[in-house]
């Protein structure tokens, strides 16, 4: 039997003994570093151990193969070499050598010869250093030598690293090595979905299909849900069509996921529902809830109502049981349609069936009454929600405040806000804000719950603390009216508690400046937004322009208009109409030209220009030439005809074409296509322009 000395990651025979054939010689190896050791991130540490290049290792194993060693000895020697290579962190040489040895030695089991803890430590080290590919490749080659890798590394660690580095194929390769591969496949797709990386999730899905021996509905459902999470419903349809082309019949859960992802397309969801029934699949309660959700999104109250009646019938026959999601969804359908009476009836059905309302149902009911202007009913429902022990979310609190603001009960809104924030006052403050009309409406629908004691509600307020959001403060800003300093104090309070004003906050504050004709304040707010890194949007600019217009500062409004265009903020229809209705009479050619320029911008932007108002203003300006001749007053009123009866006017186009030219370039006046009155108006406009230019030139001379 030969004696072997293991040096570095190689196996070298020792000096020949009496039993060793004479043609065997000891190899003398000079220490050196290969290029791999020099540049590879996992090259071995500097030590005195002699290292061998990979070809020499294979040469020694060829000697072992042709010798008289049994398989156990070969496995032991190979395991020792692997451990030494791992210890020296020469992972790449270990991987390459094992791949070549596998071809030469055939099937060898290292499961009983390798120290799994040493392998696990090295794999964990590589994963922590970010060398995921080397770690997976090492585990792949070791698995072929029948080494169990299930306990080497936490699967979640490697999958997480693969998701962060966007390596879906590598994640699938690793998952394939483990017995729970199918579970990990779903986890990989879900993790990419949560990262909003649909492309990587689809690549992982394609790699998984090649590994699957039979259809896996869990994986199909996971990739469809990921498509919905990433907002690409079309991809989910392609996956469904691909399954059908492969003659794979989806189960009820895959259909439910597909309907949920495509809930914004009611027709497609209904087609899926019909296909499900054709395949012999019985819809469950989740299927009906998703269809109700699709009806809610599409605003199909009639269809949702019919479906609810059918479900109640099936429930009476014992075929299914309506759950809280069914009731909550149908309540939201009616609430969004502002059918608050019907929503309250569903609440009664829900309570009769012994189903407790959840937060979604309560908030939908509260919102329905708030949008109907029923402030008192809204507050009473909120109190009933607290009494039932249901935790209100911030949206519920905001709905109460919004109802008060819309009902012009500004003081009450601030009292509620301060009491919730300090947990020292209650919703039921003993005030009576009921109007007669509101009371009559509520009497015909449902019994108004009795007022709940103050101490009872206080406990619930303390139990469910109020956390104001930016939307909360935006609602309160609207309650400030024209009180700029009160609104400014709210903005400062937002910052104090760590909230940042958004575009809506600043736009409301600009509008408050308009109430007090504070043009300088509105301009200052725009500058503050820019300094805070917030680009003013079209709403902010339009609001500021409106402030300038209402303060009769037309020149400043035009400056803001030019500024928003320079920042590539595109004006909307409200912006243009605000500018075009800015003045009821023009006093100079310059103002008329500016207004006509806005008019032309509006037409180029694709908006339908409101010719009616602009024609009136142009006529008033033109009549300045003939203001002493009252006989023309009726004849020149071309705008008296309603805008609906008149085609889109070419009169303004003609006027704009002439007034935006230089006087010296006007050699003729084009009045083709105009009526007699309109032609006179164009001529008068040109005469007015010539007159004003002549007056300016005379003053200069």
pLDDT digits (tens, 9 = 90+) for 580-606: 777 655 556 677 677 777 877 887 888
Q: What is the pLDDT of residue 587?
A: 56
Highest mean pLDDT among 137-141, 224-228, 354-358, 663-667: 224-228
Is pTM beyond 0.75? Reply is no
**Average of pLDDT values for 260-264?**
93
User: Residue 274 — very low, low, confident or very high, per pLDDT cuts 50/70/90?
Assistant: very high
DSSP 8-class letter at 43: P
Alpha-carbon gap, residue 309 to 347, rounded angstroms: 15
SS3 string of 588-640?
A: CHHHHHHHHHHHHHHHHCCCCCCHHHHHHHHHHHHCCCCCCCHHHCCCCCHHH
Mean of pLDDT values over 430-458: 41
Q: Is the pLDDT of residue 686 over 80?
A: no
Which 3 state secondary structure label does DSSP give 58?
helix
Within 299-358, where are the H helices?
Answer: 301-316, 324-336, 340-352
CA 693, 696, 698, 701 torsion-angle sign = negative
Higher pLDDT, 700 or 317: 317
- pLDDT confidence of 675, banded at 50, 70, 90? low
Tell me the CATH class for 486-630+651-700.
mainly alpha
Residue 116 pLDDT > 50: yes
pLDDT for the residue 454 = 42
Token look-up 């217009």 returns: 549
Whole-number Å distance between alpha carbons of 188 and 169: 10
pLDDT band at 701 (very low <50, low <70, confident <90, very high): very low
**Secondary structure letter of residue 430 according to DSSP:** S
Mean pLDDT, residues 440-468 taken together = 48
Pull the structure tokens for residue 508.
């409301």
* CA 344 remoteness from chain centre: 32
R_g (Cα) of the chain, nearest Å: 40
Going from N- to C-terminal start, the domains of the chain cover 486-630+651-700
Residue 4 scores a pLDDT above 60: no
Q: Is 24 helix (H, G, I), strand (E, B) or coil?
A: coil
pLDDT digits (tens, 9 = 90+) for 528-562: 888 888 888 888 888 888 888 888 888 888 888 88
pLDDT band with cut points at 50, 70 and 90 for residue 302:
very high
């Amino acid at each position: 039997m030969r004696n072997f000395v293991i040096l570095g990651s190689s196996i070298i025979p020792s000096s020949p003994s009496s039993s060793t054939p004479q043609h065997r010689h000891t190899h003398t190896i000079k220490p050196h570093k290969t290029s791999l050791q020099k540049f590879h991130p996992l090259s071995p540490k500097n030590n005195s151990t002699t290292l061998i290049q990979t070809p020499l290792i294979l040469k020694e194993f060829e000697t072992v193969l042709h010798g008289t060693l049994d398989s156990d000895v070969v496995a032991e020697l190979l395991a020792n070499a692997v451990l030494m290579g791992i210890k020296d962190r020469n992972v790449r040489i270990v991987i390459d050598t094992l791949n070549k040895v596998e071809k030469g030695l055939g099937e060898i089991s290292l499961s009983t010869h390798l120290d799994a803890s040493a392998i696990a430590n090295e794999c964990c080290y590589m994963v922590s250093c970010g060398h995921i590919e080397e770690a997976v490749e090492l585990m792949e080659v070791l698995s072929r030598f029948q080494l169990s890798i299930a306990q080497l590394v936490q699967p979640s660690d490697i999958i997480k690293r693969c998701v962060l580095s966007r390596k879906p194929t590598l994640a699938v390769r690793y998952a394939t090595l483990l017995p729970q591969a199918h579970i990990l496949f779903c986890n990989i797709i879900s993790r990419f979905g949560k990262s909003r990386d649909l492309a990587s999730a689809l690549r992982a899905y394609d790699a998984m299909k090649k590994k699957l021996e039979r259809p896996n509905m869990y994986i199909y459902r996971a990739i469809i849900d990921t498509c919905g999470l990433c907002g690409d419903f079309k991809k989910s349809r392609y996956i469904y069509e691909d399954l059908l082309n492969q003659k794979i019949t989806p189960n009820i859960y895959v259909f439910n996921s597909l309907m949920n992802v495509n809930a914004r397309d009611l027709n497609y969801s209904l087609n899926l529902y019909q296909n499900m029934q054709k395949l012999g699949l019985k819809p469950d309660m989740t299927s009906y809830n998703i269809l109700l959700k699709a009806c809610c999104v599409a605003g199909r109250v009639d269809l949702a109502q019919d479906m609810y009646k059918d479900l109640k019938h099936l429930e009476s026959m014992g075929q299914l049981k309506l759950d809280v999601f069914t009731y909550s969804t149908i309540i939201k359908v009616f609430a969004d349609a502002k059918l608050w009476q019907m929503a309250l009836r569903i609440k009664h059905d829900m309570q009769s069936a012994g189903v407790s309302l959840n937060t979604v149902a309560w908030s939908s009911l509260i919102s329905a009454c708030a949008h109907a202007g029923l402030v008192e009913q809204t507050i009473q429902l909120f109190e009933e929600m607290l009494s039932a022990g249901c935790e209100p979310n911030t949206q519920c609190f905001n709905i109460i405040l919004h109802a008060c603001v819309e009902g012009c009960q500004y003081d009450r809104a601030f009292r509620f806000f301060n009491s919730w924030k300090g947990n020292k006052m209650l919703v039921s403050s003993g005030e009576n804000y009921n109007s007669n009309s509101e009371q009559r409406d509520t009497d015909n629908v449902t019994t108004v719950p009795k007022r709940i004691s103050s101490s009872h509600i206080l406990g619930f307020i303390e139990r469910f603390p109020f956390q104001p959001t930016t939307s909360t403060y935006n609602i309160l800003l609207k309650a400030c009216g024209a009180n700029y300093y009160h609104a400014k104090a709210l903005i400062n309070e937002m910052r104090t508690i760590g909230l940042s004003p958004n575009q809506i906050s600043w736009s409301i504050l600009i509008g408050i400046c308009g109430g007090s004709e504070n043009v300088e304040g509105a301009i200052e707010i725009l500058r503050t937004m820019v300094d805070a890194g917030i680009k003013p949007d079209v709403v902010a600019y339009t609001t500021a322009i409106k402030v300038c217009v209402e303060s009769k500062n037309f020149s400043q409004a035009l400056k803001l208009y030019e500024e928003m265009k320079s920042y590539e903020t595109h004006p909307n229809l409200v912006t243009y109409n605000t500018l075009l209705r800015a003045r009821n009479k023009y006093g100079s050619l310059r103002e008329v030209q500016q207004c006509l320029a806005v008019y032309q911008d509006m037409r180029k932007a694709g908006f339908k220009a409101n010719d009616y108002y602009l024609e009136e203003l142009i006529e008033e300006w033109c009549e300045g030439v003939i203001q002493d001749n009252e006989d023309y007053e009726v004849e020149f009123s071309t705008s008296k005809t309603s805008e609906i009866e008149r085609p889109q006017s070419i009169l303004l186009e003609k006027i704009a074409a002439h007034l935006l030219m230089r006087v010296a370039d006007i050699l003729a006046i084009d009045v083709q296509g105009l009526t007699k009155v309109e032609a006179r108006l164009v001529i008068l406009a040109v005469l007015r322009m010539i007159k004003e230019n002549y007056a300016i030139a005379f003053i200069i001379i």
